[in-house]
Amino acid sequence: MAAPTPLYSTDFERAIARNKRNTIILIAVLTLISGVLGYVLGWAIGILGEIWSLPSAAVAQLSAGAVIADLFGPPRPQAIIGALAMIGFGLVWGLITLYAGARILSAFIGARPADPNVLAEKRFIDVVEEMAIAAGLPPPKPMVVETEALNAFASGADPESAMITATSGILATCTREELQGVIGHEMSHVADFDVRYATVVAAMAGVVVLVQHLLLDVLRWSAWTGGPRERDDRSGGVRLVLTLVVLVIVAVVAIVAPIAVKLVQLAISRQREYLADASSVKLTRNPVGLIHALQRLQQSDTALARDTSPVAALCIAPPRRLALSDLLATHPPLADRIARLENLGGIAVPPAPEAPLHHGPWG
Q: How far apart are CA 296 and CA 300, in angstroms?
A: 6
How far from the centroid of its chain's Cα atoms is residue 341's Cα? 24
Name which of 260, 263, 277, 258 is nearest 317 in CA terms: 277
Can you spell out the DSSP letters for 34-96? HHHHHHHHHHHHHHHHHHTTS-HHHHHT--HHHHHHHHTSSPPHHHHHHHHHHHHHHHHHHHH
H-helix segments, the chain = 12-51, 56-60, 64-71, 77-109, 119-135, 168-173, 176-191, 194-225, 236-284, 287-298, 310-314, 334-342
Choose the catalytic residue: 121, 130, 178, 186: 186
Name which of 47, 151, 155, 170 is nearest 99 in CA terms: 155
Per the annotation, the verdict on 129 as an active-site residue is no
Phi, psi for residue 362 in degrees, rounded to 5: -75, 140
List the catalytic residues. Answer: 186
